[in-house]
Homo-oligomer: A and B are copies of this chain.
């Protein structure tokens, strides 16, 4: 029986949503505390995560209010570390399968998300870097997908690692929020959901329909937050 869990998170943050999806998959009981990333509470870095990022988990210790973290709980940070941690705490949730080969395939997919997709997407969104890098990353990930189902067949940590980024990319593209030229967003979204990426688009659709994703994604909030946060990004990137 796992110990007490407090999750420090932020609705806008794709890394943080990974931990939320994993906890939802595990049907874990936990306290959720929203961190305002533009105005972090003073106690957060010294008492929870010295890197001052979300997500972080306080695990164990006495039952305290999240904004008064106890020194007796263990603090754990980094989204992928947390997904593995939640998978280890709740093995029956199947966040990682039992078969070592399947586990390796999930982690290999995640490596592609980290080293290829995320840098390419952030480059395009934040600095108007060539969209071809995004297409290449998606083509690569598409090549790893099985004929049907999720990244390794059954839903797993691999899917948890990517879906928060795909959901935010969709918001960014369909609302034309980013450093890319005005009007580009919808064209790029049409391309990545078009015939060249049909298998990937089907995968994305199934990800967006997963209950653990839906219950942890507030599209209206993220859209509004993106509008504010990236209000001047097109001018800045010029």
* A82 and B108 alpha carbons, distance in the complex (Å): 9
Q: Are A111 and B81 in contact (CB under 8 A)?
A: yes
- The answer to whether A225 has its CB under 8 Å from any CB of chain B is no
| Segment of A83-91, A164-172, A194-202, A210-218 in the binding face | A83-91
Contacts of A81 in B (CB 8 A): 104, 107-108, 111
In the complex, residue of chain B having the shortest beta-carbon distance to the beta carbon of A109: B81
Among A2, A78, A100, the one with the most B-chain Cβ atoms within 10 Å of its Cβ is A100
Q: Are A103 and B78 in contact (CB under 8 A)?
A: no
* A77 and B59 alpha carbons, distance in the complex (Å): 33
Q: Are A85 and B59 in contact (CB under 8 A)?
A: no
- The answer to whether A74 has its CB under 8 Å from any CB of chain B is yes
* A176 and B116 alpha carbons, distance in the complex (Å): 34
**In-complex Cβ contact of A76 among B78, B89, B104 (8 A):** B104
Q: Are B74 and A101 in contact (CB under 8 A)?
A: yes
Contacts of A60 in B (CB 8 A): 101
The oligomer's copy count stands at: 2
Contacts of A74 in B (CB 8 A): 101
**In-complex Cβ contact of A78 among B2, B82, B111 (8 A):** B111
In the complex, residue of chain B having the shortest beta-carbon distance to the beta carbon of A60: B101
Residues from 59 to 115 in A contacting B, C-beta threshold 8 Å: 59-60, 74, 76-78, 80-82, 84-85, 88-89, 100-101, 103-105, 107-108, 111
Contacts of A76 in B (CB 8 A): 101, 104-105, 108
In the complex, residue of chain B having the shortest beta-carbon distance to the beta carbon of A82: B104
In the complex, residue of chain B having the shortest beta-carbon distance to the beta carbon of A143: B50
Contacts of A77 in B (CB 8 A): 108
* A104 and B87 alpha carbons, distance in the complex (Å): 11
A110 to chain B, nearest CB (A): 9
19 A-B pairs with C-beta separation under 8 A: A2-B100, A59-B101, A74-B101, A76-B101, A76-B104, A76-B105, A76-B108, A77-B108, A78-B108, A80-B107, A81-B108, A82-B104, A84-B103, A84-B107, A85-B100, A85-B101, A85-B103, A88-B103, A88-B104
